[in-house]
Every structure is written in C-alpha cells, then in structure tokens.
C-alpha cells in the first residue's frame, strides 16, 4: 500500500464519488473535494447523496478506514496528491455548447497547489481542444504540469460494475510517464476487483472479457467519449424513426430490430424504440458535439436529426394515448410509472418520464406518478398539480390509463392481471416496449407500444 499514489478527486457527482470509492477501496488515500457542504456531510456519514447500487458500502468503508477524506479545501488535498482528477460538472449552455466554467475554475484553483511531479487528469466530458486550453492555463500560472485526458464510460445505475468490469480505459496526452501513472491507477483497481466487488455486493457480468487499455493523442481521447455517447443516442433515435414507420405499416419494431441486430456488423444493443433517451450524458453530449462541430465549421446534421427525433417522442406517445381516449386527455386520471431517466438510478435529468407527466398535466389530465428511487428528487421539477404516490398501487388505482416510462423491475414484474385489477379505463402505454403485448390483451387491457401496432406474435429468436 505504501507505494500507491495519493489521489485528489474534484467533484462528488456520479463520476467523482464512484471513482473515489474505487481508489479508496484499492488502498489509495483519496481526498474528495466539493464546495457543497451538504454533499460533503453525506460522504462523511458514509452515504452517497444519489442512489447507485453498492456505492454506499464502499463509501462507508473508505470513510471508516480513513482513505476517503472529504474536504472543501484545495490546499489541504492537492498539495499532498500525486494524481488530481477533475470530475466536476459540465452542464450545457442554452445554445447547446458545454459550460466549462466549473472545469476551468477547478483547474485554476488546483494549479496553485500542484506538486511538480503531479498529474492532472480530466475525467469530465469536455469538448475536443479543452485540454490544450487547460495546459495553457497551467503554463500561464507558471505550472508546467502533466495533463491527461481520461474520459469515463460508466452508466448511471451500473457505475461501479462498469468501472470494475470495463470495456476500455482510455488515456490521452503527450507525457508518457504521466499516461503510465494513470494506467497503473486502474490496474491497481483491477487487481483488487474481486475484493472490491465483494464489499459492494456486486457480481461479475456473464462472459466478461478483459477490458482494453488504450493510449491515444490528447484530442482523440477527448473526442472518443462524446462520439461514443452520440453514436449510442443515434442508434436509439434511428430505432424510434423506424418505429414511427412501423406504427403506420403494421410492422412490429421489436421483430424488426431483432432481425436487424442479428447482423453482427450492426448489433442489437441500443436499437430500442420508446420514449427516447435522457439523463445527464446523452442529451448534453449530442448537443455538445453539434456545438463543437459548428465551432470548427463542421455541420453534424445527422446528430441534429437524432436530437429532433428524440425530443419529439414524449409528445408522440401522448398523442397515441390521446387517440386511444377518443381525442381528449382532459379529466382523465393517468398514472405515470417511472421518473428516473433509467432504472437503477435516482437521476431525473432530462427524464422523458418527467416530461410526459408534465405534458399530460398541461393537457388537462389528473396525473399521479411513482418511482422507487426518484420521487424525492422529482418533487421540485414536476408540475405542482402532479400527485406523487408512495406505491405502484396508489399510483394506478382507478386510473383511466397507465404510462410506464422507466423499466424498473417493480413495474416489469407486476403482472398484467395485477394492472387490470387496478385500472379503470383499461389503457396501458408501454413507453419502454418491454412488456408482452399479447399477455396484456389477454388480461383485457388495451396495450399501446411504440412501433408495435401490428398484430405480430411476440418476438423470438428461433
């Protein structure tokens, strides 16, 4: 343990706190800096301020053994650290470009205290070219420090698992020694993976293959992350575009995408039609990539189209429900199940479920919502007329229609008969395309999927 680096991580969000929990669990002394006293108090109490499976166990262990040290003071942490990792927020500006105020503020503050041999690592998702600006910032401050781009690829809800059983670790920069130090940090985590996973209560995914360690140019590393997310968002919007056509032609989008995804050159992952993508990454990274293209006189029209399709899906789903109700949503009690942008997290940023609930309320529906983890976070951003239920049953009882907008296991495993027993109007909108349409029809429920208007059999690979 004695030869391991001391780490400082700037930011306690999904990326920062997950990374801190892992470095501490691998035996590294880890300072965690955040200006938000509420977040720091949560960490000191051994808890994450957001829900992420297994994270609280690691945070509590790291705090208890003194390896996680929460502090708002840069001087206390950075002066002692061999590696400083920036994981601060990068919200988007009104024009879609990335707001880098926090990124540059963190770098400016850290520059005052960096040791001569320290490595500054950028883990936040930033536009290509940001690294060179920060390197110049260091030079202007008289601090010629090594800079490494190390984009993250974790998914909320599976952040720890994605970090422990990674597809790839990407580092970019010009200092070979600095790149090696950052690579070694992850190799140390990997060598302790079994023990860390046991403490977090996680199991290795089936058929996991060893992840790749990839060293590239600084600019390439910056572009890899945002391009990966933009491509996944593009696959979702592509599937939704075909779903619109399937609704008009009687095809079943699940059958279509199963057939398309069976082509190994394409693959089935993310070819999922439904209410569209949300969260803190895909929408921001798509708009950020479009803005970066415009900054360099490159028009990324394909991403603009993907963005437009995604933004239209909640409204399209509501139109389908309105048609099923005879043309009006007024005075109809609608239950919306799912407020988090995806299952496994409490994050409601850019959540389609939130948008659907608010749009239904504005259209005159009486809306009740339920989410197993995100109800508290959602309270301040829902229309004040929306009622937040404390259970599935409370949300759906005597509802005229149900919209499932997040595929939480609690919703998916709830049987068609159980839904039918609570429903008054008999309309069930599967905005995630995860339910068995025939089973709901057999239970006497009017099932509405996205791109599933045909009378095709349930999809299967024979």
| Cα distance between residue 136 and residue 35, in whole Å | 25
Tokens 């296991």, residue?
409
Q: How many CB atoms lie within 10 A of CB 194?
A: 11
| Cα distance between residue 436 and residue 441, in whole Å | 9
Q: Which CATH class is domain 7-216?
A: alpha beta
Q: Are 7-216 and 230-448 equal in CATH topology?
A: yes
Average per-residue pLDDT in the chain? 93
Indicate which residue of 218, 221, 224, 281 is catalytic: 281
Across the range 24-46, mean pLDDT stands at 95
Question: What pLDDT was estimated at residue 462?
Answer: 38
At 455 the three-state DSSP class reads: coil
Across the range 250-277, mean pLDDT stands at 96
Q: What is the per-residue pLDDT across 120-134, written as a single tens digit (0 to 9) for each?
A: 999 998 989 999 999
Q: Judge whether 281 counts as a catalytic residue.
A: yes
pLDDT of 456 over the 80 cut: no
Sheet holding 119-122, edge to edge: 68-71, 30-33, 7-10, 83-86, 119-122, 146-149, 168-172, 212-216
CATH for the 230-448 domain, from 2.102.10.10, 2.130.10.10, 3.30.70.260, 3.40.50.720:
3.40.50.720
pLDDT of 50 over the 90 cut: no
Q: What is the per-residue pLDDT across 331-357, written as a single tens digit (0 to 9) for each?
A: 999 999 999 999 988 899 999 999 999
Question: What pLDDT was estimated at residue 454?
Answer: 61
- Whether the CB-CB separation of 81 and 31 falls below 8 Å is answered with yes
Domain ranges within the chain, ordered by starting residue: 7-216, 230-448
* Beta strands at 333-337 and 146-149: parallel, antiparallel or unpaired: unpaired
- Whether the CB-CB separation of 411 and 404 falls below 8 Å is answered with yes
Q: What is the per-residue pLDDT across 90-120, written as a single tens digit (0 to 9) for each?
A: 887 887 778 899 999 999 999 999 999 999 9
Summarize the chain as % helix, strand, coil (round to 5): 45, 15, 45
pLDDT of 460 over the 50 cut: no
pLDDT of 458 over the 50 cut: no
Could you report how far apart the first and last alpha carbons of the chain are, in Å? Answer: 52
What is the percentage of the chain residues whose pLDDT exceeds 90?
83
């Amino acid at each position: 343990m004695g030869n391991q680096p001391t780490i400082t991580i700037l930011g306690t969000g999904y990326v920062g706190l997950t990374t801190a929990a892992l470095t501490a669990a691998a035996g590294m002394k880890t300072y965690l800096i955040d200006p938000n006293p509420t977040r720091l108090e949560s960490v000191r109490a051994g808890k994450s301020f957001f829900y992420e499976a297994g994270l609280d166990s690691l945070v509590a262990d790291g705090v208890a053994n003194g390896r996680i040290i929460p502090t708002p003071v840069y001087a206390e942490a950075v002066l002692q650290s061999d590696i400083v990792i920036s994981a601060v927020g990068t919200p988007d500006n009104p024009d879609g470009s990335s707001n880098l105020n926090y990124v540059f503020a963190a770098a400016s503050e850290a520059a005052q205290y960096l040791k001569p041999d320290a490595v500054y690592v950028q883990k936040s998702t930033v536009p290509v070219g940001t690294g060179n600006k920060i390197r110049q910032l260091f030079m202007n401050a008289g601090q010629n420090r090594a800079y490494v781009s190390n984009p993250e690829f974790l998914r909320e809800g599976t952040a720890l698992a994605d970090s422990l059983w990674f597809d790839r670790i990407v580092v970019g920069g010009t200092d070979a020694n600095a790149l090696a130090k950052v690579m070694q940090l992850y190799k140390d985590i990997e060598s302790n993976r079994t023990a860390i996973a046991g403490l977090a209560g996680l199991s290795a995914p089936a058929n996991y293959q060893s992840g790749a360690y990839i060293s590239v140019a600084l600019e390439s590393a910056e572009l890899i992350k945002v391009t990966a997310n933009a491509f996944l968002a593009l696959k979702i919007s592509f599937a939704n575009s075909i779903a619109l056509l399937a609704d008009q032609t009687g095809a079943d989008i699940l059958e279509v995408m199963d057939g398309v995804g069976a082509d190994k050159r394409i693959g089935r992952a993310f070819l999922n039609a439904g209410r569209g993508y949300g969260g803190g990454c895909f929408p921001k990274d798509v708009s950020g990539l479009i803005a970066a293209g415009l900054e360099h006189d490159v028009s990324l029209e394909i991403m603009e189209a993907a963005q437009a399709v995604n933004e239209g899906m909640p409204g399209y789903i509501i139109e389908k429900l309105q048609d099923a109700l005879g043309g009006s949503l007024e005075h109809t009690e609608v239950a919306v199940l799912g407020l988090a942008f995806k299952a496994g997290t409490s994050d409601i940023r850019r959540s389609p479920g939130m948008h659907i609930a608010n749009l239904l309320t504005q259209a005159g529906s009486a809306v009740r919502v339920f989410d197993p983890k995100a109800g508290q976070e959602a309270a301040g951003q829902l229309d004040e007329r929306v009622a937040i239920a404390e259970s599935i049953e409370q949300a759906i009882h005597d509802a005229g229609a149900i919209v499932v907008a997040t595929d939480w296991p609690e919703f998916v495993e709830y049987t068609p008969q159980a839904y039918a027993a609570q429903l008054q109007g008999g309309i069930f909108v599967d905005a995630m395309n995860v339910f068995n349409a025939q089973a709901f029809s057999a239970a006497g429920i009017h099932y509405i999927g996205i791109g599933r208007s045909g009378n095709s059999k349930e999809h299967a690979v024979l």
